[in-house]
C-alpha cells in the first residue's frame, strides 16, 4: 500500500478508479486502502488520500474528476469567482447538447446543456488541490445568468451583473460580448445602461 499511496501523492492526492488502475494500483489494493481508512471516496469512482487536507471545494473536485470536460457555470461559477451572495445548493455544470448525462449520488449536480460557442467561449482552467477545473469567466457567467434567468431567477442575474461591474471582474464590453454569444444582449443592455 506504500507504493499505491505514493502514486496517489504524485497525482495530487485524488484519482479515479480507472486512473489508479492505469498507474498500476490493483482494484483490491484500492478497495483495501478505502476500507483501512487510507482513502476516502469523494464520489462514485473518485478516491482521495485521507492524510491530505480536504479539498477546499471538494464537491467541485469530485465533479471535475468524474466529468473532466464539464464547465462550472451559473451559481457555482459565481461562487468560484466570489461574485454576489448566492450559495450553491448543488454543483452547476455545463455540458454539450449530446454529451453523456452523468449520474451522481453525491454531490448534488445541476446540468445545463449548451452548444457551439455558448459552450466553448469564456472558459478558464484552474487547479483546485491538484485537480483541473474548467469554469466560465465572470463575464460569460453573467451572460449565462441572464440566459438561464427563468431557472435561477432574474434577481440572481441582476446581482451578478451589479457585483461583476462594481468589483471590476469584467468590463461592460466583455459582458456584452458574451451576451451576444448567448443571444441575450437585448435583455442585458437595458440593465447595463441603467447602471451608468
pTM of the model as a whole: 0.74
The closest alpha carbon to 142, from 114, 116, 171, 117, belongs to 171
Q: Which residue ranges make up each domain of the chain? A: 2-49, 58-194
Q: What is the mean pLDDT of residues 81-100?
A: 92
Predicted pLDDT of residue 106: 75
Please check whether residue 130 is in contact with residue 54, taking contact to mean a CB–CB distance below 8 angstroms.
Answer: no
Task: Please state, in angstroms and rounded to a whole number, the distance separating the CA atoms of residues 113 and 119.
Answer: 8
Predicted pLDDT of residue 56: 63
Is pLDDT at 99 greater than 80 in this prediction?
yes
Q: What is the pLDDT of residues 39-85, one digit of tens each?
A: 988 777 888 888 876 656 878 988 998 899 999 999 999 999 999 99
Predicted pLDDT of residue 55: 56
Q: What is the pLDDT of residues 108-134, one digit of tens each?
A: 899 999 999 999 999 999 998 778 999
Q: What is the pLDDT of residues 139-164, one digit of tens each?
A: 999 999 999 999 999 999 999 999 99
Amino acid at each position: 500500500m506504500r507504493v499505491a499511496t505514493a502514486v496517489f501523492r504524485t497525482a495530487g492526492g485524488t484519482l479515479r478508479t480507472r486512473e489508479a488502475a492505469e498507474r498500476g494500483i490493483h482494484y483490491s489494493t484500492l478497495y483495501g486502502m478505502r476500507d483501512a481508512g487510507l482513502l476516502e471516496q469523494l464520489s462514485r469512482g473518485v478516491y482521495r488520500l485521507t492524510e491530505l487536507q480536504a479539498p477546499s471545494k471538494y464537491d467541485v473536485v469530485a465533479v471535475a474528476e468524474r466529468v473532466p470536460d464539464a464547465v462550472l457555470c451559473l451559481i457555482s461559477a459565481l461562487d468560484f469567482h466570489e461574485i454576489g451572495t448566492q450559495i450553491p445548493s448543488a454543483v452547476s455544470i455545463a455540458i454539450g447538447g449530446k454529451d453523456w448525462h452523468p449520474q451522481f449520488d453525491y454531490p448534488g449536480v445541476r446540468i445545463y446543456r449548451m452548444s457551439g460557442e455558448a459552450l466553448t467561449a469564456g472558459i478558464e482552467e484552474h487547479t483546485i488541490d491538484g485537480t483541473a477545473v474548467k469554469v466560465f469567466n465572470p463575464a460569460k457567467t453573467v451572460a449565462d445568468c441572464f440566459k438561464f434567468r427563468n431557472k435561477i431567477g432574474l434577481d440572481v442575474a441582476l446581482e451578478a451583473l451589479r457585483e461583476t461591474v462594481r468589483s471590476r471582474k469584467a468590463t461592460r464590453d466583455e459582458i456584452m460580448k458574451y451576451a451576444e454569444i448567448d443571444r441575450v444582449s437585448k435583455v442585458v443592455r437595458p440593465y447595463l445602461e441603467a447602471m451608468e
